[in-house]
Structure 1
């Protein structure tokens, strides 16, 4: 899976996704400080999945109709990185299976899934 992780995505999750063999570019490494608009435009052009903890991406997706291949909104509140990673990996099989074409909120206890709007 190709992912373009927003710079606020948890480093431990980015590393874990890479260890699982996914192609993960991370804005924190490649282009820190990039605007949300620039990140979303890149994900749309290259059909990348967007892992982020930034709520603004939901607005950009649904109001401006900039539609990436999929969005993972990371709302993990566990106290430590190890706990957040544990919660994420519990949800990962379902997230991986369902993220294409969808906006998925990954929370500590569950995930919520909704379809992305059609591309214009």
Structure 2
């Protein structure tokens, strides 16, 4: 899978994704102050799944009907707990992410949302 790692997501988790064979780029390497709307446009242009810890992308997608290629929002937990969520999300919801769904990974549950606008 191709991921775009938001500045609030852990670089260590992005590095781990690379280590297991995923293609990863980091917003912070281009512009740590990049606006969310530009991050979303970048992700669509390169067909990348955004990995983040905040819900700004979901709000933009729903309120402004923005196109996207999938969002993985991890609950903002300590890094090791987020890694467990990431592992579970990939194991249980890779297909959802590849199909452009929003996957919200929380300590006690996952929520999957479909929001593709043409």
* Equivalent-residue separation in structure 2 for 1:103 and 1:91 (angstroms): 11
Contact 1:6 1:27 in 2 (8 A): yes
Match of 2:94 among 84, 93, 96: 96
What is aligned with 1:36? 36
Query: Root-mean-square deviation (CA), in Å?
Result: 1.5
- Worse overlay, 66-75 or 91-100: 91-100
Contact 1:12 1:85 in 2 (8 A): no
* Equivalent-residue separation in structure 1 for 2:102 and 2:21 (angstroms): 22
Tell me which stretches of 4 or more aligned residues in structure 1 moved more than 3 Å. none
Contact 2:53 2:75 in 1 (8 A): yes
What is aligned with 1:27? 27
Q: How many residues align?
A: 117
Give the TM-score normalised by structure 2: 0.88
What is aligned with 2:5? 5
* Equivalent-residue separation in structure 2 for 1:68 and 1:83 (angstroms): 26
Give the TM-score normalised by structure 1: 0.87
* Equivalent-residue separation in structure 1 for 2:95 and 2:31 (angstroms): 28
* Structure 2: gaps (5+ residues): none
3-state SS of 2:39 partner = helix
Map Cα deviations across residues 16-73 of structure 1 (whole Å, 9 max, x no partner): 1111111110112222110001101111222111111121111111111222111111
What is aligned with 1:82? 80
